[in-house]
Amino acid sequence: MPQPPPRLVLATHNPGKVREISALLAPLGVGVIAAGDLGLPEPEETEDSFAGNALLKARAAASSSGLPALSDDSGLEVAALGGAPGVVSARWAGPEKDFGVAMARVERELAASGTLDRSARFVCALALAQPDGAQAVFEGQLRGALTWPPRGKNGFGYDPIFVPEGQEKTCGEMTPEAKHAISHRAMAFKKLLAFWGAPA
Ligand code: ITT
């Protein structure tokens, strides 16, 4: 059974992900170094699946740092938009990474689709890569529905317009602990813990 490594590189340049993944890793005593702090470049995401892009990012960080690397590729899939924005969820925010713009685009396209179906899901693929080439991917999802206007200042990305199934608050209104109890990232993380043989 593989063990949690003493140190790993978090192969992400997204501060929201660094915050959430560091909190998930904290109880394991794993030391975390963010890719940005090592000056690692942001690889171009050329795959068409969350798992493919997660592996690409983890492999790039492991080979340039010589340390185990953990990456996260995630996004929002809106049913009425055929799964968009999906793997290009970050790109909808443009070069300024303005998620006000991205959320408004989701709402605009949903209105234009003429459907009443507001269902959506968040998807997360976590990839672990070792410098020796060993690798694994763990996936999680969170089902919910989209609301408008955006509500809440917690979380990041599309959180203010996403209401998880069975909840009334958006992810932007939830505490970090409440989001960790149900999130796509936490569900993928549970599978990583099982792989490491660590208690969930
Ligand atoms: P890295 O590639 O450096 O990790 P990124 O932001 O470009 O950062 P992605 O390509 O995986 O990452 O884009 C995923 C986008 O999906 C992300 O920017 C968010 O806007 C959105 N997203 C993912 N998880 C989310 C969450 O828990 N809550 C809200 N939005 C989320």
Q: Domain ranges for the chain, please list them.
A: 7-196
| Average pLDDT across the chain, whole number | 96
- 16-21 mean pLDDT: 94
Give the pTM.
Answer: 0.96
- 36-43 mean pLDDT: 92
Is 117 labeled as catalytic in the residue annotation?
Answer: no
Range list of H helices, 66-96: none
Say if ligand 1 is within 6 A of residue 50 CB.
no
Domain 7-196: which CATH class? alpha beta
Q: What is the model's pLDDT at position 72?
A: 98
Q: What is the model's pLDDT at position 198?
A: 84
**Cα–Cα distance, 64 to 122 (Å, whole number):** 30
Q: What is the model's pLDDT at position 1?
A: 55
Query: Which residue, judged by its Cα, is nearest atom 1 of ligand 1?
Result: 12
- Model confidence pLDDT, tens digit, residues 167-198: 999 999 999 999 999 999 999 999 999 999 88
List Cα–Cα distances, 166 to 74, 158, 163, in angstroms.
Answer: 22, 18, 8
Say if ligand 1 is within 6 A of residue 73 CB.
yes
List Cα–Cα distances, 183 to 98, 143, 144, in angstroms.
Answer: 22, 9, 11
Q: What is the model's pLDDT at position 55?
A: 98
Q: What is the model's pLDDT at position 2?
A: 83
